[in-house]
């Protein structure tokens, strides 16, 4: 494909045949009109949800496939379907080599080995003229643009600590922004993929510009919010959104200028971002992960039908109004404290002065986990919630969840709890329902493991790494 007399070639991708066909169809429609674009005009990662339901691999599909693409001035962009069954390296990237899809699938059933390993094994037996693929596909080091803090330090920090551990256990080297020994320089020199939260760069995108200039940028953008609702608590019930907060504007700028893919923690968060006009690049949902070495159920099952008070708990790092302190105050006045105890752990506003609810100071992760294991039911009273790490921690400790409806709680909890719409009699009825069918709700708890989520993140990072190395590189630079 050409633009301004510069030849471009399309090479290896982590895609299956249907995606390849869809992508090339879109290229045919768009590129002749608009010229070369470094990003394809369709959401390639939307297919990941289907893949995970079928074979437990989030975006690493049944086989790694490539396609042959050529540009004819009179006929437009053409592709040859017969080549789909045999992954092919385009001449100019890595000398043309053909490798049986059947052999590839058989030798990579668990999709755990990078493609260059299998190519290298077979190159020596069958294709002595093939170029060495290792330089393009080796993937060992990940930079996380985040200042790591020991807990307690908010849900995002909790998640990234767990993700770091999960990726490390998979054998990858992780460099954090505040690691010792010149971490920023090491991220620039050694990381092959970069993960960052929404506006972590705080207006200073020099490292992104430098990596982009050197064609070393493979940024996976972790986004929640939007800030429009999560921080500024503005309603989504509008015909037209009000002025966007600076944080959301900066998130969009970073995403559009630098990101390969965007990871949200919930579908609700994607929809909320889209509603205020933030259509971010290649969105995909991966839920938060919990360190199961810390957060796990008690050894003995809870006995809730014995003659004892049941213990309801809640927790939060934030003091914001949307965390549902008004709901807890309503319960403080209306809950039957002869039947229930209620304990809150965390930070809270000055206006939160309950008469019956016990308050505990915020603790580190181990203490939070111990606290959750002493409870029977978790209350998630927060509103406009992109994805609550506290809810995930409660589920991991075996607690059914009574939650405020209307945001992402339903996605996280699934059938392991029940929703209520507002403080009032319906909330108390929902609580009684959880108690009456307690064992059913507990059995419905499903929490993805640290390994599951780490592999899903890794799949997106690997995809971005491959795309950076092989997608639309000018042939003169190869």
Q: In CATH, what number is assigned to the domain containing residue 237?
A: 3.40.50.2000
Question: For residues 93 and 71, what is the distance between their CA atoms, to the nearest angstrom?
Answer: 16
DSSP state of 230: H
Are 23 and 96 in the same domain? yes
DSSP state of 353: -
Does 145 share its domain with 287?
Answer: yes
pLDDT number for residue 1: 36
Question: What pLDDT score was predicted for residue 22?
Answer: 55
- 98 and 204, same structural domain? no
C-alpha 108/C-alpha 118 separation (Å) is: 8
Q: Please indicate, yes or no, if residue 473 is contained in any of the structural domains.
A: no
Same domain, 336 and 277: no
Secondary structure of the chain: what % helix, strand, coil (to 5)?
40, 15, 45
Asked, for residue 66, whether it belongs to a domain, the answer is yes
CB 226 within 8 A of CB 248: yes
Residues 145 and 127 in one domain: no
For residue 35, give both structure tokens. Answer: 């010229």
CA quadruple 397, 400, 403, 405: dihedral sign: positive
Q: How many whole angstroms separate alpha carbon 230 and alpha carbon 233?
A: 6
* Reported pTM: 0.72
Sheet holding 471-474, edge to edge: 2-3, 6-10, 471-474
- pLDDT for residue 26: 54
Same domain as 122, residue 63: yes
Does residue 117 share a domain with residue 45? yes
**Rounded mean pLDDT for each run of 10 residues along the chain, 478 residues in total:** 36 42 54 44 38 38 28 31 32 35 47 46 43 52 91 83 92 92 90 90 87 89 92 92 95 91 89 92 84 94 86 94 96 97 96 97 94 98 94 97 96 95 97 96 92 83 70 34
Whether 188 and 246 share a structural domain:
yes
Domain membership of residue 89 (yes or no) is: yes
Q: Please tell me whether residues 148 and 115 are part of one structural domain.
A: no
**Cα atoms found within 13 Å of the Cα of residue 313, Cβ hemisphere only:** 24
The CA distance from 409 to 403, in Å, is 7
In a domain, 206, yes or no: yes
Whether residues 229 and 343 share a domain: the answer is no
Whose CA is closest to 351, among 382, 319, 374?
319
| DSSP code string of 418-447 | EEESSSSHHHHHHHHHHHHTHHHHHHT---
Q: Which of 166, 175, 186 is nearest to 147 (CA)?
A: 175
Quick check: is 255 in a domain? Answer: yes
Domain that holds residue 103: 2-136
Task: Please state the domain count of the chain.
Answer: 3
463 occurs within a structural domain: no
Does 287 lie in the same domain as 360? Answer: no
CB burial class (10 A; 0-12, 13-18, 19+) of residue 47? middle
CA angle 93, 468, 267 (to 5 degrees): 140
**Interatomic CA distance for residues 415 and 399, integer angstroms:** 12
């Amino acid at each position: 494909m050409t633009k301004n007399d510069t030849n471009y070639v399309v090479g290896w991708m982590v895609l299956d045949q249907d995606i390849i066909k869809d992508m090339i169809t879109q290229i045919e429609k768009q590129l002749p009109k608009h010229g070369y674009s470094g990003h394809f005009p369709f959401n390639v990662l939307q297919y990941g949800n289907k893949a995970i339901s079928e074979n437990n691999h989030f975006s690493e599909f049944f086989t790694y496939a490539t396609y042959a693409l050529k540009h004819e001035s009179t006929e437009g962009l053409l592709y040859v379907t017969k080549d789909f069954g045999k992954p092919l390296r385009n001449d100019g990237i890595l000398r043309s080599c053909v490798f049986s899809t059947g052999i590839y699938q058989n030798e990579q059933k668990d999709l755990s080995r990078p493609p260059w390993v299998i190519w290298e094994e077979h190159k020596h037996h069958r294709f002595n003229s093939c170029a060495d693929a290792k330089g393009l596909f080796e993937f060992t080091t990940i930079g996380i643009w985040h200042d790591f803090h020991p807990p307690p330090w908010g849900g995002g920090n909790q998640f990234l600590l767990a993700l770091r551990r999960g990726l490390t256990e998979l054998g990858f080297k992780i460099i954090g922004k505040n690691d010792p020994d010149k971490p920023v320089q090491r991220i620039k020199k050694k990381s092959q993929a970069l993960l960052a939260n929404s506006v972590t760069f705080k207006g200073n995108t020099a490292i992104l510009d430098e990596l982009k200039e050197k064609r070393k940028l493979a940024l996976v953008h972790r986004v929640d919010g939007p800030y429009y609702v999560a921080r500024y608590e503005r309603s989504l019930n509008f015909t037209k959104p009000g002025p966007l907060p600076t944080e959301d504007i900066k998130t969009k700028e970073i995403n559009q200028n630098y990101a390969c893919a965007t990871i949200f923690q919930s579908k609700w968060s994607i929809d909320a971002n889209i509603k205020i006009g933030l259509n971010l690049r290649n969105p995909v949902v991966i839920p938060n992960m919990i360190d199961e070495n810390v957060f796990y159920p008690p050894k003995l099952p809870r006995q809730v039908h014995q003659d004892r008070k049941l213990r309801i708990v809640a927790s939060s790092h934030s003091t914001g109004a949307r965390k549902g302190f008004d709901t807890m105050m309503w319960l403080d006045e209306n809950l039957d404290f002869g039947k229930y105890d209620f304990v809150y752990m965390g930070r809270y506003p000055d206006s939160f002065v309950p008469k019956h609810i016990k308050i505990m100071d915020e603790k580190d992760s181990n203490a939070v986990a111990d606290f959750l294991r002493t409870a029977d039911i978790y209350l998630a009273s927060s509103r406009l919630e992109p994805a609550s790490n506290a809810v995930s921690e409660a589920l991991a400790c075996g607690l059914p969840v009574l939650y405020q409806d209307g945001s992402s709680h339903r996605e996280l909890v699934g059938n392991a709890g029940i929703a209520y719409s507002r403080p009032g009699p319906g909330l108390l009825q929902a609580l009684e329902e959880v108690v009456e069918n307690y064992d059913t709700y507990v059995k419905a708890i499903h929490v993805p493991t640290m390994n599951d989520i780490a592999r899903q993140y890794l799949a997106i990072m690997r995809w971005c790494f491959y795309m950076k190395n092989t997608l639309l590189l000018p042939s003169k630079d190869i």
